[in-house]
Amino acid sequence: MHNAPAVNFPVGRSALQGGLIAGAALLILLADILWIYQVGQIGWTQWGALAMGVLTCLLACWDWMRQPSGRLRWDGSCWSWLADDVERSGLLAVRLDWQRFMLLEFQPDRGAARWLWVSRHWSPDSWEGLRRAVFAAPRTVELAGPQTTP
């Protein structure tokens, strides 16, 4: 099998991720309002649920706002992530694939993993190359001779 060709793909803040966060926030708020309506009063448990829902949504929005912009590169043999003039090599795995959007996990050689939402509309010309590279079979190394164990 041939390796996928080299690709250089821009990555930024995803509108899809922002929409999913907004949708989840609306569902949390709706559930809290329906619960308060059903109970007929607002006690400490309802206040606690509202506070936890708001805090969760604020943390998700904060994380979304600080999503890094950079470039994801495949050179034909390994992946790298370039952001803030620092390039890190690592492994890439697909976590969600919606044909026009993908959620990727980039695990650098050192440091914490990065979750990257990539979208076709950022670079339509490079999208198919990115998909080929992401799903390409990993290169295997052949051993020079038979191994013996003592």
Q: Write out pLDDT tens, residues 102-143.
A: 999 999 999 899 899 999 999 999 999 999 999 885 644 444
pTM: 0.73
Pairing outcome for strands 79-83 and 86-97: antiparallel
pLDDT for the residue numbered 128: 93
CA distance 49 to 61: 18
Farthest CA pair distance, the chain:
76
CA distance 102 to 131: 9
Residue 34 CB contacts under 8 Å (≥ 6 apart), including other chains: none
pLDDT for the residue numbered 138: 61
pLDDT for the residue numbered 20: 92
pLDDT for the residue numbered 139: 47
pLDDT for the residue numbered 149: 55
Question: Which amino acid is it at 73?
Answer: R
Residues of the chain whose pLDDT is less than 70? 1-3, 137-150
CA distance 28 to 46: 12
pLDDT for the residue numbered 88: 93
pLDDT for the residue numbered 136: 82
Backbone angles phi, psi at 18, to 5 degrees: -60, -40
